[in-house]
Every structure is written in C-alpha cells, then in structure tokens.
Amino acid sequence: MPRLIPRQTKFFDMFAEIASNLIGGAKELHSLLDDWDYQRLPECAQRIGAIEHRGDEMTHQLLIKLNQTFITPFDREDIHALASSLDDVLDFIYGASNRLLTYKITQPSPSAKILARIILRQAEELGKAVSLLEKDHALLSHCVEVNRLENEADQVAQEAIGRLFEGGYDPITLIKLKELIEILEEATDKAEDAANVLETVVLKSA
C-alpha cells in the first residue's frame, strides 16, 4: 500500500509526543478518580497541571514549526486543528482536576470515575491513531472507537446529572458535582473533535 502522507517525520514525532503526553494526563486523572483519596488531590492536581503545561509547550513548538515549514505532510489547517484539539482534551482534563481542588470536592459522583476511564480510553485510541498517521488507513478504526466512546460518555453524563437532581444534595454541592460531570464530558467531546480531524486527513489523502 502506498504511504498515506509524504514523509515529514518531524511533525509525526511531535504529534506522537503530544499524544503520549495527553495519555499521561488522562492516566493521572483516571488514577485520581478511580482510587479516590481526597488527601492525594493536591499532589495529583499539581502533576496534571505540569503535564498540561508541558502539552502547551509542545503544541506551541509544533505551531512554530508549522509557520517555518513551506511543505507540510498534510494540510496546514489540519495540522493546526489536530494540535489544537489534542491540546483541548488535556486542557479539560486539567480543568477537571482544578475543579476538584478549587471546589474542595471531597466525594465525586461514581460517574466521574466512569467518565475519567472513558477519557483515558479515548486518549489511548488517539495515540494509536496518531502513530498510524504516516502509514495507512488503519487509523480510522481508532477514530470510530473514539466517537463511540464519546456517545457512551454522553449517556453516562446525562444519567449522572439526572441522578444528582434526585440525590438530595444541597444546592452548592449539586452545582459543584454537576460542573465536574460537564467538564469531564466536554473532554470526551474534544477527543471526538481530534478523531474527526484525523478522519479528515485520511479522507483527503484517499
């Protein structure tokens, strides 16, 4: 099979690093919520913040290279969109950890753990897809899985918010927990955006 995209390994390497960093952030969030201990929150949030900062730097360096490169491996707007959407996922992961810390949420709802697991699975699928950018159309199956997971997250979030309103929470706690669910669900939306960009790259090369 012919190569999907002309060789320009530096961009592919940079995207691989961005995706790996995203997976690292998703793992930290999942670890925090899966084995919840409020005492660990400050330390975990600090690590996620450092990962998010590193992601910003990686994205910035990729965009600098984009502006300095005359011939790119695929459309410039798609390179920009992919870098930005991957960065957006990490921003919302950081946003979730920041909400936990700032709002002093001592006990997240069980659905927050489910959504964190979905985000991690999406990040891993995006990492696999990015690793195939230079090779073949097999990355599409990973994009499909990211989209399926986003649909699953929508359902989880919708049901979780419904349960919150039935749970007898005081209004302030309800608002805090609802916002946490919403920001986690938004992270899954951003992962779907990244998958859609990857699909666009493949379809343009067909």
How confident is the model at residue 153, as a pLDDT? 98
Q: How many CB atoms lie within 10 A of CB 23?
A: 19
How confident is the model at residue 148, as a pLDDT? 98
How confident is the model at residue 6, as a pLDDT? 45
- Supply φ then ψ for residue 18, to 5 degrees: -65, -45
Compute the distance between CA of residue 146 and CA of residue 139 in angstroms, rounded to an integer.
Answer: 11
Q: List the chain pLDDT tens, one digit each, 206 residues.
A: 344 444 455 899 999 999 999 999 999 999 999 999 999 999 999 999 999 999 999 999 999 999 888 888 889 999 999 999 999 999 999 999 999 999 999 999 999 999 999 999 999 999 999 999 877 678 999 999 999 999 999 999 999 999 999 988 899 999 999 999 999 999 999 999 999 999 999 888 76
How confident is the model at residue 135, as a pLDDT? 73
Write the class of the CATH domain 9-205. mainly alpha
How confident is the model at residue 5, as a pLDDT? 42
Compute the distance between CA of residue 70 and CA of residue 146 in angstroms, rounded to an integer.
Answer: 32
Q: Where are the domains of the chain?
A: 9-205
How confident is the model at residue 9, as a pLDDT? 59
| DSSP-assigned states of every residue in the chain | ---SS---HHHHHHHHHHHHHHHHHHHHHHHHHHT--GGGHHHHHHHHHHHHHHHHHHHHHHHHHHHH-SS-SS-HHHHHHHHHHHHHHHHHHHHHHHHHHHTT-SS--HHHHHHHHHHHHHHHHHHHHHHTTTT-TTHHHHHHHHHHHHHHHHHHHHHHHHHHHHTT--HHHHHHHHHHHHHHHHHHHHHHHHHHHHHHHHHHH-
How confident is the model at residue 2, as a pLDDT? 42
How confident is the model at residue 116, as a pLDDT? 98
